[in-house]
Amino acid sequence: MNPTSYLPASAAPWIELSTTGLGYNTATGEHKVVRLFKKRNGGEYSCEVYTQGAGGWRRCVGRVPPCAANFLPALPPVFVHGYLYWLLRPAGPGEEPIHRILSFSMGAEQFGWVYVPPRARGCLPASATSPTSTARCAPSSTTASSAASTGSSRGAARCS
């Protein structure tokens, strides 16, 4: 028989919008649940972490960047090699019309960015806000220097 576990209730009441992801810290062997949320009374997004066996939620170490408000609620985060990733939509007028990828390190509990490669910009239209989107990218000619910029580097989490 499989045992069933329940997450304890969060101390953050009256949440307006949230997104939750499950990940694993290979250094410690811990499973973690990470939640970004915004309280109804406004303000910035917050982050809380539940570590299996720790007994309760706590605030994450890193501060949530302000532009995390642009996450796509219909798309849950993805966990790959120690990081959770959220696809963020373009923030609004005056900003470059590209999507961004927000990362969260399960070990350091810090936020960062995975940069979209130059040749992929424009491949994720504003309509790519649901899992049913059929957006496709066509190959484009790039120079060797721009091809080297594959987006695998992570930058500090700040809005630009």
Number of domains in the chain: 1
Report how far apart the first and last C-alpha atoms of the chain are (Å, whole number).
50
In sequence order, the 6+-apart residues with CB closer than 8 A to the CB of 154 are 103, 112, 113, 114
Q: What is the pLDDT of residues 87-100, one digit of tens each?
A: 887 666 666 656 77
Pairing of strands 154-156, 111-114: antiparallel
- pLDDT, residue 129, reads 38
Report whether pLDDT(159) > 50: no
Q: What are 27-79's pLDDT values in tens digits?
A: 999 999 999 887 777 677 889 999 988 888 999 988 888 766 677 667 889 99
The number of angstroms, rounded, from the C-alpha of 130 to the middle of its chain's C-alpha atoms is 15
Determine, yes or no, domain membership for 116.
yes
Expressed as residue numbers, the domain containing 94 is: 15-131+142-156
- The 10s digit of each residue's pLDDT in 98-128 is 677 889 999 999 999 887 776 555 555 444 4
The pLDDT tens digits for 69-89 are: 677 667 889 999 999 999 887
**Residue 39, in any domain of the structure:** yes
CA distances 64 to 6, 116, 139, 142, Å, are 26, 20, 34, 34
Domain for residue 3, yes or no?
no
Residue 7: inside a domain, yes or no?
no
